[in-house]
Amino acid sequence: MAAPIVTPVTHVVFDVDGVLIDTEHLYTDIIQGIVGKYGKTFTMDIKVKQMGRKEPEAAKVVIESLDLPLTVDQYLQMSHEQQEKLFPSVELLPGAERLVKHLHKNGVPIATATGSHTQSFELKTSGQKDLFSLFHHCVLSGDDPECKHGKPAPDCFLLAAQRFPDNPDPSKVLVFEDAPNGVEAAHAAGMQCVWIPHKGINKETHRHLATLVLESLEDFRPEMFGLPPYDS
């Protein structure tokens, strides 16, 4: 099946984890630390299933996949304890700062849409407040009352579009994602999607749903989607 056709866009929505900030390896370490206490291994197959989902849903995927003797609340408490230690030092991923600042400078409306809840988002972005202040808004589907369903449902991306002042048609919105669930969500929302798969993910499973597949944000060329090109 052929990938969707590239057409010009006017607005851009970014996922956060694994696209803008380098948190996915931390999530893997935290989860393995939890499941390892019960002699279990957190595999890539499980990671793919839970990536991008609302936090309780992601926790449930891990618990049920590995038959852990934990409630969702118990699991999340253990996870949050480690997040508070590790997340404040999270760094930006290559190409993220350049692209976000470029789009903002050129007047392209930008937002984020993530499965995170407010507390987690603030922890992860605490060292990058200047960059995240450039976004028009951030949809945090983890505790946003208007976001009924997490990825792979399209809710968070549709909300992100609706919250721009001009409420663009979904076909004019470009999404950046790293998770297969996020690619599905963008496709379901009727948006084009640049997929930057997390290392170890099989690119062939969702290539037909992504408009473009890249190794890094550094490889993105804005003019391909009718956006202002980089100066150099």
Q: DSSP labels for 31-52?
A: HHHHHHTTT----HHHHHHHTT
Predicted pLDDT at 205: 86
Task: Give Rg (Cα) of the chain.
Answer: 17
Question: What is the amino acid identity at position 110?
Answer: I
Segment 32-49, tens digit of pLDDT: 999 999 999 999 999 999
Per-residue pLDDT at 225 exceeds 90: yes
Question: For residue 188, what are the contacts with CB-CB under 8 A and spacing of at least 6?
Answer: 152, 153, 154
Per-residue pLDDT at 1 exceeds 80: no
Mean pLDDT to the nearest integer, 143-157: 95
Do residues 52 and 15 make contact, with C-beta atoms less than 8 angstroms apart?
yes
Mean pLDDT to the nearest integer, 17-32: 95
Percent of the chain with pLDDT over 70: 99
CA torsion through residues 152, 61, 213, 205, sign: negative
Strand partners, 131: none
Question: For residue 147, what are the contacts with CB-CB under 8 A and spacing of at least 6?
Answer: 139, 141, 155, 156, 159
The tokens describing 181, both together, are 């669930």
Q: Which of 141, 126, 65, 137 is nearest to 91 (CA)?
A: 126
Per-residue pLDDT at 29 exceeds 70: yes
CA distance 90 to 25: 11
| 15 part of the active site | yes
How high does pLDDT run on average in the chain?
Answer: 95
Count of CA atoms in the C-beta half-sphere (13 A) of 114: 24
Predicted pLDDT at 91: 95
Mean pLDDT to the nearest integer, 142-154: 95
Q: pTM (2 decimals)?
A: 0.92
Q: Which of 204, 228, 217, 202 is nearest to 47 (CA)?
A: 202
Mean pLDDT to the nearest integer, 85-104: 96
Predicted pLDDT at 201: 87
| 155 part of the active site | no
Per-residue pLDDT at 71 exceeds 90: yes
Predicted pLDDT at 2: 58
